[in-house]
Amino acid sequence: MGHESSVPLFWRLIKPRYQLIGTKCTSCGNVFYPPKFLCPVCRKEGKLEEIKLRKTGKILTFSIIRSAPAGFEKETPYPVAIIELDDGPKLTSQIVDYKEEDLKIGRRVEACFRRIYTDGKEGIINYGLKFRPA
């Protein structure tokens, strides 16, 4: 077997992962990322529509990964942060192109397009967004 991860799963996530597309509930105004199919606040009364989120935000908290999961061993040590987007939602992402002084709570960051995970030598390359100091 030349590859292990699910190709359809990756494919389904391409749009939100590449373009930072979330959903917004038109009745309560809440914005969600990753996109939701049902508004958890308004339930069936809510109506969700796609929204292209701004690719900027700030670091809420971060951690340096020294003992990485499979597929990320060669990248250690690397920072992973919870980022609060300017449009509201929070997400977890690797921080790249940083200097030590950039790793602080509140630091402004912007999304950039990178390889996230490569499925062995024969599998597909998972692309998506990471964040760098803005």
**Binding-site ranges for other proteins (CB under 8 A):** 14-15, 18-19, 52, 74-75, 96-97, 99, 112-116, 125, 127, 130
Tell me whether residue 39 or residue 94 sits nearer to other proteins (CB atom).
94
Strand order in the sheet with 48-52: 31-32, 21-25, 48-52
Q: How far is the CB of 45 from other proteins (least distance, A)?
A: 30
Q: How far is the CB of 116 from other proteins (least distance, A)?
A: 7
Tell me whether residue 19 or residue 30 sits nearer to other proteins (CB atom).
19
Q: How far is the CB of 95 from other proteins (least distance, A)?
A: 12
- The DSSP string of 10-73 is HHHTHHHHHH-EEEEETTT--EESS--SSBTTTBTT--EEEEE--SEEEEEEEEEESSPPTT-G
Tell me whether residue 36 or residue 114 sits nearer to other proteins (CB atom).
114
Torsion sign (Cα): 11, 14, 17, 22: negative
Cβ count near 109 (within 10 Å): 24
Tell me whether residue 42 or residue 124 sits nearer to other proteins (CB atom).
124
Q: How far is the CB of 97 from other proteins (least distance, A)?
A: 5
